[in-house]
Chains A and B, each alone.
Chain A
């Protein structure tokens, strides 16, 4: 069960994810701008935003409690730790086990839990609204995501992403069965929800009628907001990485410098394809009303359930 992937590689992968996170957001923004016939900001804009925020001072609500200042720290650390669980450049279990897909989902929901707690702290209605909506959608997304994981796990007998990627890497798309296609369809439905994008959430607006995640960030400012932004970039790439590890674990087989380079390149390619998918969806659909989101997620649920049922029958 313990593999031979050294701990350095795991940490390297984690930092790679954190570094690439804002780039993915920048890429999506750029692509969206092109779809809208705008030139748009450069793909490096999210990095510039982060640096700007980290250089600012911060304003804090006078009603906020002592927890408020530590919320960005906890959220960022938790999200980054989730990044350590995604196989990025090399498949196979790490030399010392760290966590599996369930742990990854657990860490992401811990980050969401803390964000929502922070949102209620300032005592404004917007934070509460964002937290309430986010915590309404999240319990509907998480079980479906877990079912997708289970569906893959049942075929390979483990929920450890490294082993899953390793085993599926050998038998990639040629051996996909109906269950895999359905699972992937469910994943495609879930990706916009889990990354907080249209049609479930709108990352570009602070209008109270449409926002979920952004509403929870309203009271953060300066470096704190920078941490929260970095955490949401990381969360996005971690989610995409999870989808890539579950369904496209290619180019991760080889060790050595060449293998690592190959792995990095293939990872970047996969993430960019998935990011382009998000950009296309976001440009071609309108945001759903909050109470239509459960129906939208229902499509994902049905696909995931069918996928699981096909594995078992």
Chain B
């Protein structure tokens, strides 16, 4: 695997000879790496007992030994990464060639190199067996994706997005680093086994402090509200197959980090986790889910809309994770509830990777054919790009959590876990769980509204600009990349029971209790059930996605028979009735108009601003032109970040005003600070 990614990285050197060759060879190498990754992870996940792969790396640093340790959880995330990487690498070469044919070999080399480094870092981060390689890969992943974000073109917008991304994630990484270093200092070594031992001796408050510091680091990367502001800027800026990887996979690496820290490294030996952890994550997850989808609804840039949906889906995953943390080792239902919640979270991880990858690739296909990201300038693409349209619609149904596709399955499991939690906890904590259920339901409905808008405005109706009118279908390799993810969506939706076997190793590995298939597929792989065994409280529910899909399949021909009508009249086509005027594209509903009622309903959260300028000719009744501009603000951005920014600006202004500019004064400050530090912290060791 490493060889493949390294080969891909070196292939970028070919760019000196031919940019196109570098592109193809580099992506083929990454594709091979992803296939090997799938094979390795499947080998581990299906093994019985689950083997733990450990590998000592050559000593690079005198103070630490680097190692890889692949257990069930690592293998599962390795699988998720590799599944999306297969699609992205299939899609990549044709996309880059079509989107920016004028790019020189230098830019191609950078893109191929960064893509391979990015993939390799994500893969090895999940397999890391010690803190140092974890941090190194984490940093490599950030830097490589930064390069990809700013690589796309020379637009100042992308550079700003990249800068914000760098600042936010590095602030997060700093917190993560503190947490790691505090642990390694106690352990005296970097490998995870030593960290585990060191953490078992911690008292509760230190444990919680370390966890929350790490959580800030991971939450920044995952784009949890209110740390999400970089995400909707940086993700759309990258080339689309990289956006698919960043949204579908890189955020999941942060989820992996939270799971690894919360359930493994920092977990107490036998007691339940401190209750503040789970509740915080549950509340953060719920907030991210609702706010993510609400802001997505008001976006008219297709890729930005998708990026906001990533915030939403990370929220849904975190609801599952939070519930699992709350009930782990705490309740009497024999541990099945924790397994159920974690299964929901992990399943949503792979589901989101599949449909978000698919949607970003679909958006990329539109982008490379029309060079337009704004939905208002598109329209009518379904007739020119039928494959892309069909696959995008499939992804839209999946992400809206509608049966019979995969999004529904993991949300169903999340709902069942929430119900199980609500039947255990009473009083205010139960109410929090129930409210999060209601908000999750709201999220699903809003996501459906959002994707009716996204699909309808982009693909249906009349083309609004010549860009959209002259679009053509994308080449086969790009469709193949999308189709692979669509197949995953359908498979995980129609026969999710068969995927549960893969979730056994991670759930058993970190919960040390029941495996996913023992709980969810207790009645065979065709039935999903919630085998909750607490007598009298939860009896459990069973559904069968497979049977439902069969029922739908059986009903379709009957409905089709009715649709054909009882008499064989030919179908006439006529222009749409527009009250007697000749129809133009301006009669089509726009994205702004579509989302307007919801923006008024949720006006408190949006604080919508709009401005109408009328140009009149002579009389106020004769209007020559109307200019409309509207804007919706991100509450986190205005309420938190702008204030922080003002604070920092004011502080630096105050400092500048009081600076004398003489070097003696500064040296005096430094010495004073050193003296103080020695006075406070130096007394500990003799």
Given A57-B569, A120-B589, A133-B597, does the pair A77, B422 have CB atoms closer than 8 Å? Answer: no
A116 touches B569 (CB 8 A): no
B594 touches A131 (CB 8 A): yes
Residues of A within 8 A of B452 (CB): 113, 116-117, 120, 131, 135
CB < 8 Å neighbour of B445 from A62, A124, A140: A140
17 contacts between A and B (CB under 8 A): A54-B566, A57-B572, A59-B571, A62-B576, A63-B583, A76-B555, A77-B552, A84-B551, A97-B542, A98-B548, A100-B541, A119-B456, A123-B460, A123-B583, A128-B456, A160-B543, A312-B427
In the complex formed, the residue of B with least CB distance to A113 is B448
Given A124-B587, A312-B422, does the pair A56, B455 have CB atoms closer than 8 Å? Answer: no
B448 touches A109 (CB 8 A): yes
B544 touches A96 (CB 8 A): yes
A143 touches B416 (CB 8 A): no
A99 touches B594 (CB 8 A): no
A97 touches B446 (CB 8 A): no
Band of interface residues on A: 35 or more
**Shortest distance between the CB of A226 and any CB in chain B (Å):** 7
B543 touches A97 (CB 8 A): yes
Q: Does B596 contact A (CB under 8 A)?
A: yes
Extra A-B contacts (9), CB below 8 Å, given A59-B571, A74-B559, A123-B380: A67-B393, A106-B402, A113-B400, A117-B456, A121-B461, A131-B589, A139-B446, A140-B445, A308-B434
Given A60-B573, A131-B452, does the pair A110, B397 have CB atoms closer than 8 Å? Answer: yes
CB < 8 Å neighbour of A123 from B430, B448, B461, B595: B461
Top 5 A-B pairs, shortest CB-CB distance: A128-B589, A57-B569, A139-B445, A120-B456, A223-B565
B600 touches A291 (CB 8 A): yes
**Shortest distance between the CB of A140 and any CB in chain B (Å):** 7
Binds A, one of B32-40, B532-540, B653-661, B673-681: B532-540
**A211–B446 alpha-carbon span in the complex (Å):** 21
Given A117-B460, A139-B445, does the pair A132, B573 have CB atoms closer than 8 Å? Answer: no
Residue positions of B touching A, CB distance < 8 A = 380, 382-383, 386, 389, 393, 397, 400-403, 408, 412, 415-416, 419, 422-423, 425-427, 430-431, 434-435, 437-439, 441-442, 444-446, 448-449, 451-453, 455-457, 459-462, 523, 527, 529, 532, 536-544, 547-548, 551-552, 555-556, 558-560, 562-567, 569-578, 583, 585, 587-589, 593-598, 600-601
CB < 8 Å neighbour of B573 from A59, A128, A135: A59
B559 touches A80 (CB 8 A): yes
Given A113-B402, A135-B448, does the pair A77, B559 have CB atoms closer than 8 Å? Answer: yes
**A312–B652 alpha-carbon span in the complex (Å):** 52
In the complex formed, the residue of B with least CB distance to A308 is B434
B449 touches A63 (CB 8 A): no
Residues of A within 8 A of B431 (CB): 308-309, 312-313
Residues of A within 8 A of B565 (CB): 54-58, 222-223, 226
Residues of A within 8 A of B583 (CB): 63, 123-124
Q: Does A21 contact B (CB under 8 A)?
A: no
